[in-house]
Amino acid sequence: MAETICSVPGVCDVEYVRGEAAATAAPALLLEVSHGATLPRHFAELRARLRGDLPADLQDFFFVNTDVGAPELARAVAARVVQAQPRRAALVVRCLIPRTLIDCNRRIDETPVPAATPAGAMSPGLPPWIRDAADQQLLLDLHAAYRQVVTAAFAAVCGRGGQALLVHTYAPRSIDVPVDDHVVAHLRAAYAEERIGSWPLRAAVDLITEDPDGRDLASPVLADAAEAGFAAAGFDVQRNGAYTLHPITLAHGFALQYPRQMLCLEVRRDLLVPEFTPFRAMVPDPAKVARAAAPLAAAALRALP
């Protein structure tokens, strides 16, 4: 198969992960990491391209709100799948655009208005601190470039009958604060020692299978196998505990386009890193990533055509 889906500098990394006997095999599994900009340099490099004034402490929001461990988990799952079945290939797409500046898992109109969101609402696609018109256009162009790559990736895999895993990680506790110019102050208050324990502890794994109307859009084999596998490995698992497949997300659109061929999930970040440090950079622990990857890879192998 000609590998026509390619990385785009500053937008996404694309990797074909192949088994030893899969030199030309089309990928049967897609792993998309739409919040894959997890490194400090991802934020710093794009911030340096913007000319508008942004909150001085915005990097702290990046650290607390980025999907640490998701890219490593996706890559580990792909490696396990092709190791188990050497004739298989997988496709991993990692977004490099920080969701702190624009969210690449959001549907965004051509003429969006940056907006704050109240506590408990879905975070915005274009946040309120992006006020400069040139900055808005740059970020919208990057968003469009990512959307083009990931749309092609879904067509290449799910369009040929394959399966997709949309890999995310979330903070240990469900903390609802407004996303506005004071978001870091809101979060620091919420994470204060005397308050942090009052926020609900999330499940170790949350399988996001339904839309807000209760329609199950996930691959049933993939979801059932993942639930059973994670539970057997000692993870507590919920379905749609923290989120649903909201129509504002690109994931929802792909789920409608490729029904019963994908699974979106969240894994708790503190289970993938040595220590959860919300306002500082975190580095995933390979052993913890491997523990979470094993049941997810086994589920993928059950679901692949």
Give the CATH number, domain containing residue 196. 3.40.630.40
- Give me 234's structure tokens: 């000692």
Query: Quick one: pLDDT at residue 2?
Result: 42
Among 285, 212, 204, CA closest to 248 = 212
In a domain, 102, yes or no: yes
In a domain, 7, yes or no: no
In a domain, 232, yes or no: yes
In a domain, 4, yes or no: no
Query: Quick one: pLDDT at residue 110?
Result: 59
Rounded-to-integer distance, Cα 130 and Cα 109, Å:
15
Q: Around 290, how many Cα atoms within 13 Å sit in the side-chain half-sphere? A: 3
Residue 169 forms beta bridges with which residues? 267
In a domain, 3, yes or no: no
In a domain, 2, yes or no: no
Query: Quick one: pLDDT at residue 1?
Result: 41
Query: Quick one: pLDDT at residue 112?
Result: 66
**Residues of the domain holding 124:** 12-303
- Start-to-end CA distance of the chain, whole Å, equals 18
Among 246, 245, 208, 210, CA closest to 227 = 208
What are the mean pLDDT values of the chain's consecutive 10-residue runs (305 residues total)?
A: 80 97 94 98 97 95 97 98 98 98 88 65 83 96 97 97 98 93 95 96 98 96 98 98 94 96 98 97 98 98 95
Specify the number of domains making up the chain. 1
Query: Quick one: pLDDT at residue 123?
Result: 72
The 10 Å Cβ neighbour count of residue 56 is: 8
**Exposure of 216 by Cβ count < 10 A (0-12 exposed, 13-18 middle, 19+ buried)?**
middle
Q: Which amino acid is at 18?
A: R
Query: Quick one: pLDDT at residue 124?
Result: 72
